[in-house]
Amino acid sequence: MRKVIASLFLSLDGVAEAPQEWHLPYFNDEMGAAIGDAMATSDAFLLGRATYEVWGDQAPSSWSIRRCSAAASSTPPTGRR
C-alpha cells in the first residue's frame, strides 16, 4: 500500500486557493528547497484537473514523475502526462 502525502501552499490564516495570487512575494530559496525536496521524494502527483492541464503544458518533458488527474469528468485532461 502506498502513502498519500498532501503538499500545498497554505497561508497562516488558512487560505489554500489561488496561491499564484498571494505566495509569490514570499517565495525564497528556503521555500524553493522545501518544494524541491518534496517533489524529489515523490514518485507520482495526484492533481486536480485544472492543475493537471497547466502542468501538462508547462512541466518539463524530462520529468519522470507520473502525473494523475482526479477529475469528475469523463473527458480525459489535455496536456502531457
Higher pLDDT, 19 or 26: 26
The DSSP result for 36-59, as a single string, is: HHHHHT-SEEEE-HHHHHHHHHHS
Per-residue pLDDT tens over the stretch 47-77: 888 777 777 666 666 567 777 777 776 566 6
> Which of these, 17, 1, 4, lies nearest to 68 by C-alpha position?
4
- The pLDDT, as a whole number, for residue 71 is 73
Q: Using the 8-state DSSP alphabet, how is residue 9 labeled? A: -
Q: Which CA distances in Å does 51 have to 1, 18, 27, 46, 77?
A: 25, 11, 19, 10, 10
Give the residue carrying C-alpha cell 518539463.
60
